[in-house]
Structure 1
Amino acid sequence: MLGLLLAGPGYAQQAAPPPTPAKEITKPAKPRKLTRKERKELARRAAVDAAARQRPNLSEKDREMSEAYFVDGVRFLLLEDYNKALERLLKAYALNPTNAAVNYKIAETNLLSGNLKDATNFAQVAVKLDPQNAYYYLLLAQIYASQKQYDEAAQVYTTLIKAVPNSNYYLFNLADLYMAQGKLNEALAAFEQAEQKFGPLDEVSFKKQQIYLKQNNLDKALQEGEALITANPDEVRYVLAQAQLYATNNRLPDAIRVAEKALKQDPDNPRARMILADVYRQQSNAPESERQLKLAFESTTLDIDNKVRILVDYIKQLPNPALNQTAQDLAAITTRVHPKEAKAFSIAGDIQTVTGNRAAARANYLQAIRLDNSRYQIWQQVVLIDAELNQVDSLLTHTGQALELFPNQAPLWFYNGVGYQLKKQPGKAIKSLEYGRKLATDNPELLAQFDTQLGDTYHELKDFAKSDAAYEAALTFDANNAQALNNYSYYLSLRGEKLDKAKEMAGKLVKQNPDNDTYLDTYGWVLYRLKDYAGARQQFEKALKTTTDATVVEHYGDVLFQLGEADKALAEWQRAKKLGGASSLIDRKIKDKKLYE
């Protein structure tokens, strides 16, 4: 009882008291957690027992004082007040320095408070005073290990095993310590000694396998695996571990043989299928590898997180014509097998996104949201796809729903504003964009996107001062902002204002993007407004090499008319009308064969 009481709850001891050796180790049951009142009573009883072992010439008064100090010290130690605990325990030590229990508790208190030097000294004394108490050895070994004095710690375990009866259980501690040091031969010897005492143990076989693998002794490692299978014929996990060992070490035919053995025991085992899939992949047998992987994914016992990890690995390799369909099939299986898992639909949406199937991706994301609407990233993906597909109603619906959950996310306000702008509701667009802009002050790049969009929207409202200011703000952050350069210069040309500035911006953009028909058209129209008709013609003709846009064709007709080629101009106006999308003046131009602006 004294040994148990003085050990304290969970501080110094690393294991329960050593059991009687047997064929199998039965660890003692974990004790229930004591109440504070019970701990106090146990500490008091410990003090009484310790007092019985004090020096016989200790006076009764000193004995009582020593007991009281010791009990107080243990109480403060339990409360983790190490300063007060050490103060009381040292007073007990002053009265009775040869009491092993007092030395042990002082050592433990010093260890917990970080004073390893004193902890070592007092623990050494405790062991000398009571060499039959296993806990004292364990504390001393722990103190040495804390100082990375592993040789000394190993020696303490060795002495413990020899000196204390029924302590062979600590051979496992000794072996683990050797493994941590990289002393593999010594660890093997300790494990083998333990097996001699307790018989074959699964955990020991696994650790011996680890040692043999570190020693590049594959045959010995495999022998341990076969021994485990023989000893546990109904345990499929040992068969799978052996198959994995073969696969990892490029013994592929053996890996297939053992994995198929596992499948005979458990036909639906997904881990066996995964091992086979990997082996067949290494053998360049893609069809069989894919078949095994799909069979593994069909199993509900392969949890969703493992499936997601595998699919993430696929995403890293996509898009890839050789893998796209497989990835999509695996994602479809995952959503079918796990219909209530949001992450299944989320990863399926990711795969559809990177393989270019936007509509299917959005459908999966929306199902993920129905199951769990708390992930902002999924909402963001839905909104981005709405914008890419130019589905304005969906964009407004989804941004509205998302903003109810994430009102402080500036990108949602941006796309909500874009949606209203596309719906020709510039007032609502301005409201969303201005609000979102306030939330984006710590993100200059996003702020520039807000400014560019505000420039476009204020232009629609004919608030040209605010429009120009917004474009200027966007270009202050990014002087090469293509949307701002193009729209700002084009709108200035329409207004006939700051045309030199417009020319500079449009020319810069065309220089950076010489084949972009939209930018060529803008530059051409700026030159047109500057009455540089020859230069404008040159830009329009470049643009028409890659586009049949009605606006560009109509502009080309306008510049031809200005250059005195009225017949050619009429032909271009007629072509623009036929294409659809020309200006409201196109019919008058054609009817009167005359330029209207």
Structure 2
Amino acid sequence: MLLAGLTGFAQRTYDQFFLEAMMQRQKGNNAAAFDLLRHCLELNPEAPEVYYFLAQYYNALKDNKTSEEYFKKAAALAPDNVTYMETLAQIYIRQQNFAEAIPVVEEIYERDKERIDLLEMLFQLYQQVGKNDQAVEVLDRMEAIDGKSERLSVAKSEIYTRQGDKKRAIAEMKSLAEKYPNDLNYLGLYGETLMMNGEVKKALKVYGQILEQEPDNNKVLMSLRTYHLALGHKEMADSLSERVLMNKNATSEERIHLLRQEMSASELAGGDSTRVLRLFKKILSGPQTSEDMALLCASYMNAKKMPKDSIIHVLEQALTIAPDNSMARLQLVGYAWENDDMERVVELCRDARQYNPDEMAFYYYQGIAYYKRENLDAALSAFKNGIGVIKDDSDPNIVSDFYAVMGDILHQQGLAEEAFAAYDSCLVWKEDNIGCLNNYAYYLSERGEKLSKAEEMSYKTIKAEPKNSTYLDTYAWILYMEERYAEARIYIEQAIQNLDEKMDNAVIYEHADKIKLKIKTE
């Protein structure tokens, strides 16, 4: 690493200290490396590599002024070093000092004219400082290398338009269209530029030329639709909308984009959904390449509070197109649940095993549906299968309920220890699962086991819902089992005061009688 100005012993001394600094840096001993580099600077104040590495340390020390000064010095001492120059350019850009960055990037490009990325950077920088002529000149340089292209011509035309130079904006796109006369997309861009710059008659003529050759050209149809909307030609615009939507060449994205516009226009006009729904129906009557249109329709119908049966029909269509769409399937599960159609819930969730085997919600709803139908074995099987897809980032509410219901089922099957293990798992995922806390506490009290733990769990439930007669009854019964009869009476009386007469309250009355009897005999 021989440097101008140092010879013999001085050079060897510098090299020794610089190499040692690099070794310490490699080892992560940054304090030692920093000190050694500062000593190197004393030995040779004209060493660009020392300024470069010291600049990085000053940057880490938040001394931005010194850091920038040293990066500048490194680049000035070694302008042929691309790394130093690029680093300096990036610093200027981060500081939004675009004017200073430009000459640095220009100098780098002059040394390596194969780097198109530098021209891309210069194009952006010149625009940032408002030098549009220089930005166009950079595009010309890029065009000289890569040839005329849509991207470059559009960029130039946009700059000319911003400058108010309509003639050059139009001429640029006309030149592109003439260079590639067989590409109607370029002719379409020329038409759009004419329209944008007020040359309406010429633009319409160009659009006509395109439609003669390609009647289903969606870009042109959309441009014409926009034109007629602006003039208030509603019938013509509506006709063009339908033409685009029913066009076999239209992509799903184009249709959805246009329908969203129609939906917005409908809302602005008072919210009449008739036309929008008719468009959806017309589109969905044809073949679909994706479920997106059906899902958008269902979402719109839901927002407009359409009958649920109608929404279900559209969601069923979405699921037929894409049976692996979990969102559509879950919505259908939700509607079936609302209708208390547990058979349909089971069917939807069972089919999900094939298409969405890792979606935990389907195991949950299937298990609950079986449980509501009193098919405990099938419910337990569904929950056990669902446990296999639980992950660390699974929804704790669903996982907690998984284990809670499993615990209830296991207890009903006489498997108390397994039930308690399930309840413990439930509370690991959600320690305030009130339903689980109540059932767990009550079942422990029935067995006369771990009454202190049962009391603690039950107390959480009455704190959360102080007027819940079931929870008050559980807490009273635990106190009874602990032979704290006076306290038990207070809570059982509260339970009776808050009874829901629609429920079977026989157990609560039975507990109340036992507590009162015990107090009388005391």
Give the structure-1-normalised TM-score.
0.54
Question: Offset of 1:351 from its aligned partner?
Answer: 4.3
Equivalent pair of 1:419/1:429 in contact (CA under 8 Å):
yes
Q: Distance in 2 between matches of 1:218 and 1:500?
A: 93
1:445 maps onto 2:432 in alignment: yes
Over 3 Å counting, the alpha-carbon distance change for 1:514 and 1:400 in structure 2 is closer
Question: Which residue in 2 is equivalent to 1:293?
Answer: 280
- CA deviation vs aligned residue, 1:360-392 (integer Å, no higher than 9, x gap): 233212212222211223333333444455543
Over 3 Å counting, the alpha-carbon distance change for 1:210 and 1:338 in structure 2 is farther
1:372 maps onto 2:356 in alignment: yes
1:197 maps onto 2:175 in alignment: yes
Equivalent pair of 1:451/1:471 in contact (CA under 8 Å):
yes
- CA deviation vs aligned residue, 1:520-578 (integer Å, no higher than 9, x gap): 7677666655659xxxxxxxxxxxxxxxxxxxxxxxxxxxxxxxxxxxxxxxxxxxxxx
Over 3 Å counting, the alpha-carbon distance change for 1:302 and 1:481 in structure 2 is farther
Question: Which residue in 2 is equivalent to 1:237?
Answer: 218
The 5-angstrom pairing of residues 3-22 of structure 1 reads: none
Amino acid at match of 2:88: N
Secondary structure of 1:445's partner?
Answer: coil
Equivalent pair of 2:333/2:348 in contact (CA under 8 Å):
yes
The 5-angstrom pairing of residues 89-100 of structure 1 reads: 93=79
The 5-angstrom pairing of residues 182-581 of structure 1 reads: 184=162, 186=164, 191-199=169-177, 202=185, 226=207, 230=211, 233-238=214-219, 241-242=222-223, 245=226, 252-262=234-244, 266=248, 282=266, 290=277, 292-297=279-284, 299-312=286-299, 314=301, 320=305, 322-339=306-323, 344-353=328-337, 357-406=341-390, 409-437=399-427, 439-440=428-429, 443-446=430-433, 448-463=434-449, 465=451, 468-475=454-461, 478=464, 480=466, 482=468, 485-489=471-475, 491=477, 497-508=483-494, 513=498, 516-518=501-503, 528=513
Over 3 Å counting, the alpha-carbon distance change for 1:172 and 1:459 in structure 2 is same
Equivalent pair of 1:399/1:412 in contact (CA under 8 Å):
yes
Q: Distance in 2 between matches of 1:209 and 1:506?
A: 80
Equivalent pair of 1:340/1:371 in contact (CA under 8 Å):
yes
Q: Distance in 2 between matches of 1:89 and 1:220?
A: 56
Question: Which residue in 2 is equivalent to 1:580?
Answer: none
1:119 maps onto 2:101 in alignment: yes
Q: Distance in 2 between matches of 1:161 and 1:205?
A: 22
Amino acid at match of 1:332: E
Over 3 Å counting, the alpha-carbon distance change for 1:365 and 1:162 in structure 2 is closer
Equivalent pair of 2:337/2:345 in contact (CA under 8 Å):
yes
Equivalent pair of 1:493/1:525 in contact (CA under 8 Å):
no
Equivalent pair of 1:110/1:118 in contact (CA under 8 Å):
no
Amino acid at match of 2:382: H
Over 3 Å counting, the alpha-carbon distance change for 1:418 and 1:425 in structure 2 is same
- CA deviation vs aligned residue, 1:39-58 (integer Å, no higher than 9, x gap): xxxxxxxxxxxxxxxxxxxx
Q: Distance in 2 between matches of 1:344 and 1:383?
A: 20
Question: Offset of 1:327 from its aligned partner?
Answer: 0.9
Give the structure-2-normalised TM-score.
0.61
Question: Offset of 1:142 from its aligned partner?
Answer: 3.1
Question: Offset of 1:266 from its aligned partner?
Answer: 3.5
Equivalent pair of 1:273/1:296 in contact (CA under 8 Å):
no
Question: Which residue in 1 is equivalent to 2:134?
Answer: 156
Q: Distance in 2 between matches of 1:514 and 1:218?
A: 79
Amino acid at match of 2:345: A
The count of aligned residue pairs is 425
Equivalent pair of 1:429/1:457 in contact (CA under 8 Å):
no
Equivalent pair of 1:270/1:302 in contact (CA under 8 Å):
yes
Amino acid at match of 1:430: F
Over 3 Å counting, the alpha-carbon distance change for 1:260 and 1:308 in structure 2 is closer
Over 3 Å counting, the alpha-carbon distance change for 1:273 and 1:508 in structure 2 is same
Question: Offset of 1:329 from its aligned partner?
Answer: 0.7
Over 3 Å counting, the alpha-carbon distance change for 1:363 and 1:224 in structure 2 is farther
Equivalent pair of 1:239/1:262 in contact (CA under 8 Å):
no
CA RMSD, Structure 1 to Structure 2 (Å): 5.4
Equivalent pair of 2:122/2:138 in contact (CA under 8 Å):
no
The 5-angstrom pairing of residues 24-173 of structure 1 reads: 93=79, 108=86, 110-112=88-90, 119-123=101-105, 139-145=121-127, 148-149=128-129, 151-152=130-131, 154-160=132-138, 170-173=152-155
Using CA pairs below 8 Å that are at least 6 residues apart, which structure has the higher relative contact order? Answer: 1
- CA deviation vs aligned residue, 1:250-302 (integer Å, no higher than 9, x gap): 86532442244457864998789876898599498867754643453455544
Amino acid at match of 1:120: I
Q: Distance in 2 between matches of 1:279 and 1:521?
A: 59
- CA deviation vs aligned residue, 1:325-368 (integer Å, no higher than 9, x gap): 11111122223333465555344334434565443233212212
Amino acid at match of 2:487: K
Secondary structure of 1:199's partner?
Answer: helix
Question: Offset of 1:232 from its aligned partner?
Answer: 5.3
Secondary structure of 1:396's partner?
Answer: helix
Equivalent pair of 1:492/1:499 in contact (CA under 8 Å):
no
- CA deviation vs aligned residue, 1:117-171 (integer Å, no higher than 9, x gap): 653333466899999x9997655333345xx42x12x131245578999688655
- CA deviation vs aligned residue, 1:152-199 (integer Å, no higher than 9, x gap): 2x1312455789996886553344467xxxx75648665313124323
Over 3 Å counting, the alpha-carbon distance change for 1:218 and 1:175 in structure 2 is closer
Q: Distance in 2 between matches of 1:114 and 1:90?
A: 15
Over 3 Å counting, the alpha-carbon distance change for 1:126 and 1:285 in structure 2 is closer
Question: Which residue in 1 is equivalent to 2:34?
Answer: none
Task: Return 461-470 or 219-228, whichever deviates more.
Answer: 219-228
- The percentage of counterpart residues that share the same residue type is 9
Structure with the greater alpha carbon radius of gyration = 1
Equivalent pair of 2:228/2:237 in contact (CA under 8 Å):
yes
Equivalent pair of 1:376/1:406 in contact (CA under 8 Å):
yes
